[in-house]
Amino acid sequence: MKNKLNLLEPTLVINEDICRQNLQRMTERAKRHKVLFRPHFKTHQSIEIGEWFRDAGVTAITVSSIKMATFFAEHGWEDITVAIPVNSLEKDRINRLAKNIELNLLTADYEGTILLDSVLKYPVGLWIKIDIGYNRTGIHFADSILIDSILDIIKRSPNLTFRGFLTHAGQSYNCRSNAEIIEVHQQSVSKMKSVSENINQSILITKYQLVTHQRAVLKMILD
């Protein structure tokens, strides 16, 4: 096969015009359905492509490591969520980020939440990861006792603010039709709503977000 671009190593090759059109369409749909569009940057990990998102009006992003968060923070991104369970051994990097940007982290266990609270010098937002069937990570959606115990830690902490419950319905990867996707979506919404209904509401001191917004996301997908 002839190598028309003379590429000697793995290289990102994309059509900028098509990408920008897709971004504009996604941001417009998110606005129309009143959904916060916080794209994940782990695939492109590119400053230049990140600017395309900024041009489309994106101000908040998601990444998959503290290192990646640092990379994008150094290039002007000021609202970053790290969507993997936090490792408090990275406390120095975490505190440097938290000092300068709006940083949101993810917890999936009681002990890790206590440890995180003990090493923080600056405020961060904290999401609680919920397992709704993918069985990779997170707290089982029906374990309200454990969820309440983590919420209590957050409530008592001067540096932790509860952002909401976050989940990843990875079991949808096995879906082979729109009907199967919709079924997984509906099950996900039901399980996440049950989390909200079963927790001790008196522990909460702030409004929080729930994955019930997936209804709008699903409508966006099927539009």
pLDDT band, residue 204 (cuts 50/70/90): low
| pTM of structure | 0.86
Count of structural domains within the chain: 1
Domain residues for the domain of 54 are 17-222
Does residue 6 lie within any of the structural domains? no
pLDDT band, residue 206 (cuts 50/70/90): low
Residue with tokens 């082979």: 176
Has residue 193 got a pLDDT over 50? yes
- Residue 61's contacts (CB-CB under 8 Å, 6 or more residues apart) are 38, 39, 40, 41, 50, 53, 72, 77, 79, 80, 81
Does residue 59 lie within any of the structural domains? yes
Has residue 32 got a pLDDT over 60? yes
pLDDT on residue 205: 52
Has residue 187 got a pLDDT over 70? yes
Has residue 1 got a pLDDT over 60? no
Does residue 7 lie within any of the structural domains? no
Has residue 23 got a pLDDT over 60? yes
Does residue 60 lie within any of the structural domains? yes
Does residue 161 lie within any of the structural domains? yes
**Contact assessment for residue 100 and residue 124, using Cβ atoms and an 8 Å cutoff:** no
pLDDT band, residue 201 (cuts 50/70/90): confident
**Contact assessment for residue 34 and residue 216, using Cβ atoms and an 8 Å cutoff:** yes
